Copies of this chain bind each other. A is one copy, B any other.
Amino acid sequence: MTDTTVAVDVEAAVLDVCRRAKVASRELATATRITKDAALHAMADGLVAQSARIIAANAIDVAREREGGMSPGLLDRLTLTEARLATIADALRFLASLPDPVGEIKRGSTLPNGIRLIQKAVPMGVVGMIYEARPNVTVDAAGLALKSGNAAVLRGGSAARECNEVLIAVLQDALESVGLPRDAVQSIDAYGREGAKVLMHARGLVDVLVPRGGRDLIQTVVRESTVPAIETGEGNCHVYLDASAPLQRSIDIVLNSKTHRVGVCNAAETLLVHKDAEDKLPAVLEALHLAGVTLHCDEAAADLAPDNVPTVRATEEDWATEYLSMDLAVKIVDNIDAAIEHIRRYSTGHTEAIVTEDIGAADHFVKHLDSAAIMVNASTRFTDGGEFGLGAEIGISTQKLHARGPMGLAELTTTTWVAYGDGHTRA
């Protein structure tokens, strides 16, 4: 068998999966909330009932990847336990408790000619998800797609393939048990990277593609996909201490933004300090140091570090780095506009925070930045679907089209205009 033959086979197979998803999506689109919630509960129950089988499959993946040299951190994310499965099942039950995003009337009016016009939320159709070796995302993505009335085509990492295969079967059984089509949740893991490429070009069959994972994965999807994709998750977030920043509040917000959880996109990566707030910096740096943070300081900031606080000299690269670790870049700026310039230059447009007592400075900061979220006197960690009250979170969009910031179920819907006349024609 030649390479070309393989490619053609993969293309045909993946497109067939997408076509079946499209057919299934029509049933999903008109399914009532009662049916969709019953499916979510059946999925949760199935995961618990089949936990031994799921964990056994997962153990094969974990053993193979450990053998292959996967890092302990990634191995941990790959590993399922009874307790983790129970948490995953609970997340499905929570999804069932959320309102149905489908059918919500977004706008409406009676036109001057008497036509009654409504714009209502409808499912996208087929949602493609490409993600890395985390079996929980398989369940999460399937649940989010289902609740929003969409069929899902999933491409997980090959490192989780044994487990994903079992998970998909359990989810499909649950769909069938409530009379929904099995094709509403399908995997293309069997078709490898080639299959993922076909998915990215299945324009017309797949309505939106949501990559979930690291920078490389997301950039590949954004660059290659002809299916509309939503860019998520890269966060080079900043905290700016304004001239009027109070000391304790500065320490609280900087510490929380940096150290509350370091591997997430809404963690702070750079601290900017107005030169008139320099007197607060030694205490802030000391608190960060005691929390275990490595401080990458420009010369002015380094000069202000107490003797017991070691620093490393920041380079150009530090300003642009999303560390995702206990590291923080620190820089003194001449004024708020210099802070804004720095952020505009290096930010990924995720979240920026200002600590200030000056209402004018807060307004200026909000007005002149161009990021998905701006925090005034609050930690960057609040940019989160759960914290924002959106219920579920699909990801955090750093693009401007369709969705920006935390995306909930509503962002997996589109709209239809419906006009009711009684024989209206245009004059």
Complex Cα distance, B224 from A226, in Å, reads 8
The answer to whether A378 and B419 touch (CB under 8 A), given A26-B368, A400-B124, is yes
- Check A418–B374 contact: CB distance below 8 A: yes
Given contacts A389-B109, A426-B260, contact A115 B399 (CB under 8 A): no
- B residues in contact with A367, CB < 8 Å: 30
Judge whether A138 is part of the interface by a CB distance below 8 angstroms. Answer: no
Given A222-B226, A379-B425, A426-B260, A370:B401 Cβ within 8 A: no
Closest to A405 in B: B417
Stretch at the interface among A89-97, A249-257, A277-285: A249-257
In the complex, which of the residues B30, B368, B375 contacts A30, with contact meaning CB atoms closer than 8 Å? B368
Contact flag A111-B389 (CB < 8 Å), given A226-B222, A417-B373: yes
Closest Cβ of chain B: how far from A70's Cβ, in Å? 30
Q: Which of A33-41, A179-187, A380-388 is the contact stretch?
A: A380-388
Closest residue on chain B to residue A411 by CB atoms: B401
Question: For residue A373, which residues in chain B have a CB less than 8 angstroms away from its CB?
Answer: 416-419
Specify the chain B residue showing the minimal Cβ separation from A415.
Answer: B404
A200 interface residue, CB < 8 Å from B? no
Please state the number of chain copies in the assembly.
Answer: 2
Contacting pair A383 B421 (CB below 8 A): no
* Chain A interface main SS type: mixed
Known contacts A376-B420, A401-B208; decide if A426 and B382 are in contact (CB<8 Å).
yes
Known: A29-B370, A400-B414, A417-B372. A422 touches B377 (CB 8 A): yes
Q: List 22 A-B contacts (CB under 8 A).
A: A26-B368, A111-B388, A117-B389, A207-B400, A228-B400, A228-B401, A246-B423, A248-B423, A252-B425, A253-B424, A253-B425, A256-B426, A373-B417, A374-B417, A377-B421, A377-B423, A378-B419, A378-B423, A379-B426, A388-B417, A400-B414, A404-B414
The 8 closest A-B pairs by CB, nearest first: A378-B421, A256-B425, A400-B414, A402-B402, A378-B424, A381-B426, A249-B423, A228-B401
